[in-house]
Each structure stands twice: as C-alpha cells, then as structure tokens.
Amino acid sequence: MVNRTKVSLCGIEMDNPVIPASGTFGFGYEFAEIYDINCLGTFSFKGTTKEPRFGNPTPRIAECSSGMLNAVGLQNPGVDAVIAEELPKLAKCFHKPVMANVSGFGVEEYVYTCEKLDKEPQVGWLEVNISCPNVHGGGMSFGTDPAAAAEVVRAVKAVTTKPVIIKLTPNVTDIVAIAKACEEAGADAISLINTLLGMRIDLRKKAPLIANTTGGFSGPAVFPVAVRCVYQVASAVSIPVIGIGGVSSAEDVIEMMMAGATAVEVGAANLVNPFACRDIINDLPAAMDKYGIDNLADIIGAAHK
C-alpha cells in the first residue's frame, strides 16, 4: 500500500509531515503513555542547553484569546542529563529518528551541545533555536541579525554530520534576509516561526500577568503570520522549510505545505489536546481526498506555482 502522507526531510524519510514542536511534547515518553507516538513523523524534543536551567520565575504562562503566552525560559536538565537519562527512556517508546532542539547563550554553547547530540544515534536532525524570546543574552539576539545567525550556523556545521535546521523568529523586519544568510552559511533547513513577542496586564494588580513581563505568543491567532513567513522564505531559499505556528488541523498542515513547508510542527495545540498530533495525522487522508491530493509531497509549495 502506498503511503500518501510520506515526505522526506533533509534526506530522512518520514511517514507523515506532522512533528510536535519543541517545548510542547517534553521528551515524548509522557505522551507515549496515552497513545503510540510512533504514528508521528518525528518530534522535536525539549529545548536543550549546555547547562541545566531552572527557567524563568512563575507565573510564566497566561491564556489569551486564540492563543497563549509563555515565558518558561528553556527549563531543561542540560545536555549531559538529556543524553544519560532522557534519550534512553525515549528509546523504549519511540523507534524513529528524533529531532534534537538546541538553545544557547553564545556560539561556543551551541557548538558544545550540538556536537554532543550529533553523536547520538537516535538523533536524526539538530534544530538549532536562535529565536527564543524568553531568555536574556543569546537566544533571540542571534536570530535577529543575519551575520550573527550565519556565525552560529557555520560554527555548528563545523562540528556536526547530521542535518542542521535553524529555527527563526518572526520578531524581525526581514525574515527572508536572515533565512538566506543561514542557507549561505550551510544550514540544511529552516524552521519557522518561533513565538511572537507578546504581553498581558493583570487589571486588578496593574502589573504584567507573567513574571518575565513579556512572553512568547502562540496558538491559532499566529497562524496567518506563520503562513506568510513560510511562503516568503520558501520562495527565497532552496533548502526545506518547516512550518510552525498555530497549526491545529489537517487543513492547516495542507495550507502550510502549499505555502512551501516540507514538514509542519504543531505546538500549542498539544497543550490544549494531548491527542492533537495523532488526530491531525488520522484526519490527513480525508482532508487530502477533499482537496483532490494524491500525495502530500506533491503539494509542497503549490501556492507558488
């Protein structure tokens, strides 16, 4: 039987293009307790840094209409603990290559963490996050300047053999210039978008709702921004693009792919419904039939033609 949902991302075949986004799926094994996560194309695990991080003070999540704000601040146990503890647990329940999400506060930190994760056989891709709006020093600062973004790419590519995907922020004037700089520096793919910078105020306390003051805004409200960014970048680079931002249905996946995405990450929807990705994958064949799509791979960039 032909797999109509199959796609290839940087030379690695995936059963479907659906990927839970980093920070919304932990290290996978919690979700494996409620459904077989091997139905996923892959998933991007929790953002990992060189050293352990406690994250930002609480409160660090706030609900908004059509979305949410978060300023978790890359809470994670550090790369050594991820390799020693998290990956062995994951290997018991997920039997496909996983996407490792890496953050840092300096070029040398990105290099250190990527070099370590590159040696892990379970890791298929390295998704390098140069776009987190909730950490001070590093994070998004690399993703807002083409030269700084390219510097990270070149440094990471020098110490890795696996595909390097650069995750970009929408909080810039020209996302295309940054994507092109990453491609020229050797990036194998671009994932976009990370969260938009947002804020809410508690009317009773007359103070910001979250302790970090601002946070990353995600959820259905950002979907049109994400589609626009994917469309613009996909028409400017020749490497694959992964679409992220507000995706919550099989139709959203198809729209992202028509905009130019090879694969699609699902973020906030997992926090609303832990079965979101499974349900989207199950709904894809019927949605494809509805729009006369034989194979998903055929529609990548269809809106550009």
Rounded-to-integer distance, Cα 295 and Cα 14, Å:
13
Catalytic site residue from 132, 182, 229, 277: 132
Judging by beta carbons within 10 Å of its beta carbon (0-12, 13-18, 19+), is residue 77 exposed, middle or buried? Answer: middle
Residue found under tokens 């209409």: 65
Rounded-to-integer distance, Cα 157 and Cα 111, Å:
9
What is the DSSP code string of 152-172? HHHHHHTT--S-EEEE--S-S
Do residues 202 and 256 lie in contact, with contact meaning Cβ atoms separated by under 8 Å? no
CA atoms within 13 A on the CB side of 225: 20
Q: CA angle, corner 60, sides to 267 and 45, nearest 5? A: 35
Residue found under tokens 């110490």: 159
Judging by beta carbons within 10 Å of its beta carbon (0-12, 13-18, 19+), is residue 35 exposed, middle or buried? Answer: middle
Q: CA angle, corner 14, sides to 184 and 12, nearest 5? A: 45
Rounded-to-integer distance, Cα 209 and Cα 212, Å:
9
132 a catalytic residue: yes
What is the DSSP code string of 35-96? S-GGGSS--B---B-SS-B--SPSP-EEEETTEEEE-----B--HHHIIIIIHHHHHTT--S
Residues with catalytic roles:
132
